[in-house]
Amino acid sequence: MASHGLGNLGRLPDECWVRIFAHLEAYELSASASTLCSGALTLATHPQLWVSLLHLDFCASLPQRAMLQAWMLLHDQLHPRQLYIYKRREHSLDMDVARVELQQRGEQAREHERKQRRLRILNAVLARVTHLLLCVAGLGSSVALWLKLVEDVKCSFYVVFAPLMAFEVFFLASSAGAFAIYCLRGLSNWTFYWNRLRGAVRWLITYTSPFEGALVLVSACAVVPLTACALEGDLPELLLRDARLRLAPPFGAVWLAALLLACGLLRRRSFSASCVGSFALLWCPLVSTSILLYMKLSAVAKLPYYVVFAPTLGMTSLLLVFVGFLVVASFWLGYRGNRDWIEYATFTLLTLVTLLLPLLLLQMALLARLTGRISNNALFVPLTLWLGCLTVCAACHACASLAGG
């Protein structure tokens, strides 16, 4: 190799220089080694060096090596250095595309995480926080009614039912948000939220219709204010003249909500076993009790309270027996080795102890109070304790949901 200023290094044979250059990278071979001397420039373009670089830089597996060999044979008229430059440019473009795709995927993952966080907060508000506020409102109204009846506190029924009316305002506001998400579900961003939304409002919209669901909500939320107006006598003079019409507005709101719900469910769903069971165990007893109670308070004063509460007492008793059977059967299946049934049995047992059994006892206590067998304290003390425990449980669930969001 011809040399200028290399001393004894220039006397090395070309084979040795090729072996030395074989340890260099492509940019070192093109930039540094080729500037040593005129002979180095010639050796730096040796085909064997660039073929080795092609295999080292672009062959990570045997299939890739085979494809590279076929590609080089297809372009054997070109120098391997030109093939390396072309391959390098192609690889740079692929890396740029991969980098852009990675950035896009990272942004999509971050956007998905933001959506999940918003969805968890939204579901926590529509479900857990709603349950908490309902328990708080029920507890507040119960305490206020207790003080009004027992301690003879001078306050109107508007103050007694103020917690429940405040809850209804919150519930209507959150329901408006759910209806807005339903109306915007055609957009891609809002479809994600609607398909994963929870709460009673989504169930109402899904199984009836938006219009019917809105009417049911408005009618149901009008019951408490109309009851306060009826008890305070703040109704039109035409309704106050007749005792049978004085309580017609709140009961009419109850019946309207029940009728709209029944019509919507029957129109949108077939007569399945769950639909028939829901009507037989829930809708019919509640509506029957409201009708009997209205008759007792307005027209048929001699109607016994046992008859008035017979539908709901029977419904609660049947549900208690059914849920008790589910608990026993689930624990038996769990004892046979399926742990999922143990978890289901535990949850069902908690539902029985904290909800169904207290509801049955509450109806019996209310019936005893209306018949004069117990005092107001005997009714309101257990009721307040039960609602307080439910409030604590709902607060724990709400805090856990919001912390997770």
pLDDT at position 2: 47
Residues 6 or more apart from 79 whose CB is under 8 A from it? 45, 47, 50
Nearest in space to 334 (alpha carbons), one of 319, 346, 320? 346
Greatest Cα pair distance, the chain, in angstroms, is 128
pLDDT at position 41: 66
pLDDT at position 299: 79
246 and 298 in contact (C-beta within 8 Å)?
Answer: yes
Q: What is the DSSP string of 196-218?
A: T--SHHHHHHHHS-HHHHHHHHH
pLDDT at position 4: 44
pLDDT at position 235: 74
pLDDT at position 364: 93
pLDDT at position 233: 80
pLDDT under 70: residue ranges of the chain: 1-12, 14, 27, 29-41, 151-152, 238-240, 243, 268-280, 404-405
- At the topology level of CATH, where does 7-77 sit? Monooxygenase (1.20.1280)
Torsions phi, psi for 289 (to 5 deg): -65, -40
pLDDT at position 333: 81
Return d(Cα 200, Cα 182) in angstroms, integer: 14
pLDDT at position 217: 93
Return d(Cα 149, Cα 155) in angstroms, integer: 10
The residues spanned by each domain of the chain are: 7-77
143 and 392 in contact (C-beta within 8 Å)?
Answer: no
pLDDT at position 276: 67
Note if the pTM is more than 0.85.
no
pLDDT at position 12: 67
